[in-house]
Amino acid sequence: MKPHRLLTLNNVIARIEPVASALELHGESYQTGVAQTSFCDTDHQNSVALATNHGWLKLAVDNDAVSLILTTPRIARLKSNNFPKPLLLCDNLEEVFYYLHNQALHETTFVSPAVERHQEIAPSVNVHPSAVLEGEIVIAENVQVGPFCFLQGPLFIGGRYSSTRFLFHWKRWVVNKKSQRSHQQVKHFGGVRIGANCQIFSGTRIAKSAIFQSDTVLEDEVSCGEEVVIGHDARIQSESIVAAAAAISGKACIGPSCWIGAGSLIADSVQVGHHSSVKEGGGCHSVHGTSLHRLRKYRT
């Protein structure tokens, strides 16, 4: 989906001025436009991205989809004005970005289709009477939705030839970010996409993507035990197993055919390589076959 209009730098500045501390603009001569908030590794064109460290800043600079970067003077360390992209610098970085994010820029820059939110549920799907389905939801063949599940769209479950069976408990998720003034609730504008032949057991909670046009993804043949927590924009690749009570933080990526032990924690933005194992109750330091440097490279 392409935006029908773009916000100028002045438009963006006007939106964040009420909360920004020591706001500076570098690169005002760039003729750029902004359509939505996103991450530094985004595929969505005309995005404004948050760079909380030097690794994310480099990623945003090299990413053609990012048209505006929000960071701090300490991270940018500008020595000249010849920076390749416009930068917005401020002291209260995360507060400003999430304040901008919660304004839902995409509602201004994209044309929303004039269609009702629909639900497409295959005839073979078994939905327990106590389950609640809300919003735009597509469920393919042979899916079982267990007792007291809450499914909120946008949500897609199962592939074309899926024989998936679910005991699936899904909750709306907002993240509280501590600002200088108070806690902020971060709105989630994306969805959840679950592949074919997955098993998701009771008490599992999967957060929607925080980003418009994006999904939190579970690929084909993924298994999640009871009480698993999967954060926003995480990706669990095919044939991986996440054991009971494990927590996969936001934007983490679990490679194919991995084992994530019971009660373990994968920190935000960590990448776990294929065929890796995390011990029961362990963390990112327990991952085999993936260097600690790689695991922490883009950690925020």
Q: What is the mean pLDDT of residues 14-33?
A: 89
**What's the rounded Cα separation, in Å, for the pair 89 and 93?**
8
Phi, psi angle pair for 120, to nearest 5°: -120, 110
Domain boundaries of the chain, sorted by first residue: 9-109, 119-296
Asked whether residue 114 carries a pLDDT value surpassing 70, the answer given is no
Spatial contact of 137 and 168, defined as CB atoms under 8 Å apart: no
Instruction: Tell me the pLDDT band of 113, cut-offs 50, 70 and 90.
Output: low
Asked whether residue 299 carries a pLDDT value surpassing 70, the answer given is no
Which three-class secondary structure state does DSSP give residue 46? coil
Burial of 36 (0-12, 13-18, 19+ CB in 10 A): buried
**What's the rounded Cα separation, in Å, for the pair 256 and 221?**
10
- CA-nearest of 98, 84, 78, 63 to 24 is 78
The encoded tokens of residue 181 equal 């003034």
Q: What is the pLDDT of residue 117?
A: 61
Residue-wise pLDDT for 203-217, tens only, equals 899 999 999 999 999
The domain made up of 9-109 is a member of CATH 3.40.50.2300: no
Asked whether residue 107 carries a pLDDT value surpassing 80, the answer given is yes
Mean pLDDT (the chain, rounded): 84
- CA-nearest of 83, 95, 85 to 46 is 85
Q: What is the pLDDT of residue 293?
A: 38
Q: What is the pLDDT of residue 152?
A: 86
Match domain 119-296 to its CATH number in 2.40.50, 3.30.70, 2.160.10, 2.60.40.
2.160.10
